[in-house]
Structure 1
Amino acid sequence: MKTKTILISLGVATAFFLLSTKKAFANLVHNQGFRGCDGFGCGSFGASRGDRVHQGIDIPTVKGETIFSPISGTVTRFPFPYGDDLRYTGIEIKNEIYSVKIFYLKATVPAGAIVKQGQAIATAQDIAAKYGSGMTNHIHLEVRQTPTGQIIEPTNLF
């Protein structure tokens, strides 16, 4: 009887551990990595951008690569990263905890769509076409707390 109780306790503890270590975000691309530094700067959160800092992270992509939703939520809008170059687009997805913006993609879901974490939502654009081969092609991810709008460092959410 003691052995059975111990085994059940270990099973419950293992299940709790596995569930509690699940990351908040799904990967945005297969074989996800993070953009290091190239001729145009670094892709990490907080990297210098002259008189400002990078408020997101950059994830390397290949033009046309499928992009997946990091969270479950509602597609609220399609923002533009550059006011003077509308070729490049983004997507914003919100739920009660997180608001994410992902830039340099072409959305394949409409505004108002309810998306699930890990669902295909877009294809990657070719940002290198704007900056040249010195820039690693990537998508850009920014994360905020939905209730407060405060920016969050997203690297450890994966």
Structure 2
Amino acid sequence: NIFPGNNVSLCVCVCLCVCAAVLCVCDGVKFGQLCSGNSLNTRRTSDSWGQGHHGASRGTREHQGLDIKCNDGATVYAPFDVTLHGKVTVYTDANKAAINNGINLRGQGLCFKLFYVQPDRYYGSVSKGQRIGVMMPMQTVYPGITSHVHVQMCGKSDPTPYF
């Protein structure tokens, strides 16, 4: 016991140290460029299909990600060193097959998904700035929408602080 006769102080000290370590895991993590042509990761704001921020209304549900502008056919990059962890099937609706793909990723202590991306591969490691794949043809399914990559945290928390 480094605080003789004072177990409460020790407990508080250990708790603060552990909490600080947990907070530092993601502290300062920022996504690098996701799409060619959008070096600042500009977000989709509002269009005739809705809004792209986390929590935006989608009828009876809430949008569970953040939409980053990305032109159809644009190259999608690793935002930092990542490990690819398999395919994401975005929709069950066959009418949306043209954009029904994505990928699970992990890196910098984060677990997240990218929707509407046709990856070059589904497993392995990719370094920051290297190509992951290509933006799928969103305009074929949602004419007039601001084409975008949907970034969704695995736990569906708000990804905005990382941008």
Q: TM-score range by the shorter chain?
A: 0.7 to 0.9
From 72, 77, 87, give the equivalent of 1:68: 77
Residue in 1 that maps onto 2:21: none
1:22 Cα deviation (Å)?
5.3
2:142 aligned with 1:131: yes
Cα-Cα RMSD: 1.9
Structure 1, unmatched stretches of 5+, are: 1-20, 145-149
Structure 2, unmatched stretches of 5+, are: 1-26
From 106, 109, 118, give the equivalent of 1:106: 118
Q: Which runs of 4+ in 1 moved over 4 A?
A: none
For residues 130 and 105 of structure 2, the distance between their equivalents in structure 1, rounded to whole angstroms, comes to 12
1:56 Cα deviation (Å)?
0.5
2:34 aligned with 1:28: yes
User: Is the 2:98–2:140 Cα contact (8 Å) retained in structure 1?
Assistant: no
For residues 43 and 108 of structure 2, the distance between their equivalents in structure 1, rounded to whole angstroms, comes to 26
Residue in 2 that maps onto 1:155: 160
Q: TM-score, normalization: structure 1?
A: 0.74
Map of 1:24-63 to 2, 5 A cutoff? 24-29=30-35, 30-31=38-39, 32-63=41-72
1:96 Cα deviation (Å)?
7.0
From 65, 73, 94, give the equivalent of 2:106: 94
What is the aligned residue count? 131
Q: TM-score, normalization: structure 2?
A: 0.72
Residue in 1 that maps onto 2:128: 117
Relative distance call for 1:38 and 1:117 in structure 2 (3 A) is: same
User: Which amino acid is 1:123 matched to?
Assistant: V
Among the aligned pairs, what percent are the same residue? 30
1:26 Cα deviation (Å)?
1.3
